[in-house]
């Protein structure tokens, strides 16, 4: 009896050890997936450097420099003195309208696919009558002849043509760079004419032809911001601080409409200095590629231990019920075949759609293992049983990785059912009276 127990425990211990050791190559495959993801990001960065990166239109913002006097202590004599300093007042438009059209394209670097786009933006709006009386009464002297209109652009390399500003009926050319970095760091600027005595609105408009990659964002700097975006891209992902109020997506593309009020964001219509940054309120669209094979490969390999453990458990039950001996080397070979499935899936999915790659990889693995089982057990019935079991497992995993929101629920229910089946089929096994021949290697 003791010999049988020891043999049984040795067998189970050996199977568990083999399954755990197979997690080492599984971890190496995970590292390969991360490495390929990194290489993909580098390919995206390489294309973006030449074409234009993720773009965000920030502003426009009207900036007016002013001077004021402050008291300071003179270090030489310790007395107070008045020192003139220059600061900047930033004013946001009362209305901002953006009409944007995006024409995306797919580019390739080796096996990697990158989404780039050409966009045409028509930006218009108005500033209400500016009232400086309160500030001027406090000793602020405004330099109206140095006022600028600044517009932030994420990647200036994406600008296709010269941009001209229509400011209150006057045509003004934009200059490269921003006049200051209080609000944003990269963009364009134009000197504009304003006067505190004007009673009319300052209306503006300009057109931008902009190249970019992956994403196009906007900032709601208007007291009321209205953005309409349309494209022939069929799989958009709307993201950022605000989702569109209305959007339609069909086989011809998408159209989205945002309407954002100043009450929806966390900064005022005017401020001085660098008190606020506006990028955190950005919103827009991510031109998402429909299939992310690396993400799905990650999710698939998480179930490697379930595959290996359940397959080994079935092999162990075959030894018990069929009086067949399976050598540890044969367990190892079957385990390696299960691990190789993930390398097949990763490599094939870089060339064809993930679903097709999964089908081909699973089919190849099932045929390989079932044929091997037929050879070592000399039983067509067991071979077909293993093929059916593996097919059900691969179908189960495939369903889980397609259901992003319900993956945890379906996976938990599936594992619970599997555990129930194992308990059911093993309920009548007398573990202390197993025939030693059943466990001989």
15-19, 79-83, 164-168, 383-387: segment of lowest average pLDDT:
79-83
What are residue 122's DSSP bridge partners?
99, 207
Report the share of the chain in percent with pLDDT over 70.
Answer: 82
Distance CA 282, CA 276 (A): 14
- Residues 283, 394 share a domain: no
- The pLDDT, as a whole number, for residue 136 is 55
**Is the separation of the CB atoms in 98 and 218 below 8 Å?**
yes
C-alpha to C-alpha distance for 205 and 221, rounded to whole angstroms = 15
Same-domain status, 197 and 83: yes
SS3 319: helix
Domain boundary among 264, 290, 316: 290
Domain total in the chain: 2
Give the domain extent around 219. 53-290
Check pLDDT > 90 for residue 196. Answer: no
What per-residue string of b and e applies to 164-193 under the rule 16 or more CB within 10 Å gives b? ebebbeeebebeeebbbebbbeebbbbbbe
Q: What is the mean pLDDT of residues 15-23?
A: 82
Answer yes or no: do 227 and 311 share one domain: no
Does the structure show a pLDDT above 70 at 440?
no
Residue 88 and residue 65: Cα distance in Å, rounded?
A: 4
Kindly report the pTM of this predicted structure: 0.69
318 plus 392 within the same structural domain: yes
117 assigned to some structural domain: yes
pLDDT in tens, 305-322: 877 888 887 777 777 766
DSSP code, position 154: S
pLDDT digits (tens, 9 = 90+) for 48-64: 677 778 889 998 999 88
Please, are residues 256 and 229 in contact by the beta-carbon 8 Å criterion? yes
Q: Which residue has the higher pLDDT, 396 or 437?
A: 396
Write the pLDDT tens digit of every residue in 366-394: 898 888 888 887 778 888 888 888 888 88
Residue 40 has pLDDT above 80, yes or no: no
DSSP category for residue 128: P
Last residue of a domain, one of 260, 290, 320: 290
Is residue 155 one of the residues assigned to a domain? yes
Same domain membership, residue 316 and residue 191: no
Average pLDDT for 18-44: 81
Tokens of 4: 């049988």
Residue 47 lies in a domain: no
Query: Is 257 inside a domain boundary?
Result: yes
Supply 411's token pair. 């996976």
Q: What was the pLDDT predicted at 180?
A: 85
Residue 122 domain-assigned?
A: yes
pLDDT of residue 132: 63
- β 170-173/164-167 pair status: antiparallel
Q: Kindly state whether residues 314 and 243 are assigned to the same domain.
A: no
Give the confidence band of 17 by pLDDT, cuts at 50, 70, 90. Answer: confident
44 located within any domain: no
The reply to whether 96 and 197 lie within a common domain is yes
* 406 band by pLDDT with thresholds 50, 70 and 90: low
Residue 45, domain member (yes or no):
no
Q: 386 lies in a domain?
A: yes
Confidence of residue 439 (pLDDT cuts 50, 70, 90): very low
Cis amide linkage into residue 308, ω under 30° from 0: no
Helices and strands in the chain: count of H runs, count of E runs: 9, 18
- Integer-rounded Cα Rg, in Å, for the chain is 33
Residue of 283 and 395 predicted with greater confidence: 283
Asked whether residue 187 falls in the same domain as residue 246, the answer is yes
Q: What is the pLDDT of residue 407?
A: 62
Does 426 lie in the same domain as 302?
A: yes
Q: Are residues 306 and 264 in the same domain?
A: no
Regarding whether 319 and 240 lie in a shared domain, the answer is: no
pLDDT of residue 425: 66
Of residues 176 and 36, the one with the higher pLDDT is 176
Contacts for 101 with CB less than 8 Å, ≥ 6 apart: 119, 120, 229, 230, 231
- Are residues 153 and 264 both part of a single domain? yes
Which of 238, 268, 290 is at the close of a domain?
A: 290
């Amino acid at each position: 009896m003791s010999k049988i127990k020891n043999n049984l425990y040795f067998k189970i211990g050996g199977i568990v050890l083999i399954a755990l050791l197979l997690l080492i190559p599984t971890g190496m495959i995970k590292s390969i997936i991360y490495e390929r993801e990194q290489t993909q990001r580098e390919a995206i960065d390489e294309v973006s450097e030449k074409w234009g990166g993720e773009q965000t239109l920030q502003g426009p913002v009207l900036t007016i420099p002013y001077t004021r006097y402050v008291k300071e202590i003179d270090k030489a004599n310790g007395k107070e003195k008045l020192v003139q300093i220059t600061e900047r007042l930033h004013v946001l438009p009362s209305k901002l309208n953006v009409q944007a059209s995006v024409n995306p394209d797919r580019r390739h670097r080796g096996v990697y696919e990158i989404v780039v786009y050409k966009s045409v933006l028509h930006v218009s709006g108005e500033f209400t009558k500016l009232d400086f009386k309160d500030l001027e009464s406090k000793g602020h002297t405004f330099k109206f002849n140095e006022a600028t209109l600044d517009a932030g652009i994420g990647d200036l390399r994406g600008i296709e043509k010269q941009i001209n500003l229509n400011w209150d009926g006057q045509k003004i050319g934009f200059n490269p760079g921003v006049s200051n970095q209080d609000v944003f760091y990269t963009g364009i600027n134009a000197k504009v004419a304003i006067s505190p005595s004007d009673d009319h609105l300052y209306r503006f408009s300009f057109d931008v032809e902009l190249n970019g990659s992956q994403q196009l964002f906007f900032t709601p700097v208007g007291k009321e911001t209205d953005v309409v975006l349309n494209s022939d891209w069929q799989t958009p992902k709307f993201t950022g601080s605000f989702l569109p109020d209305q959007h339609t997506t069909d086989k011809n593309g998408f159209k989205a409409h945002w309407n954002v009020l100043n009450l929806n964001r966390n900064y005022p219509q005017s401020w001085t200095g660098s008190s606020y940054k506006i990028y955190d309120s950005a919103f827009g669209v991510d031109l998402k590629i429909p299939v992310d094979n690396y993400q799905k490969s990650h999710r698939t390999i998480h179930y490697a231990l379930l595959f290996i453990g359940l397959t080994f458990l079935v092999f162990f039950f075959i030894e018990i019920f069929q009086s067949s001996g399976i050598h540890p080397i044969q367990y190892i070979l079957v385990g390696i075949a299960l691990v190789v499935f993930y390398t097949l899936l990763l490599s094939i999915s870089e060339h064809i759609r993930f679903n097709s790659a999964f089908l081909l990889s699973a089919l190849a693995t099932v045929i390989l293992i079932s044929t091997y089982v037929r050879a070592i057990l000399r039983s067509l019935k067991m071979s077909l049983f293993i093929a059916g079991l593996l097919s059900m497992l691969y179908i189960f995993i495939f369903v889980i990785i397609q259901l992003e929101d319900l993956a945890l629920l379906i996976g938990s229910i599936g594992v619970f059912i599997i555990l129930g089946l194992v308990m059911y089929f093993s309920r009548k096994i007398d573990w202390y009276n197993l025939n030693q021949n059943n466990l001989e290697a």
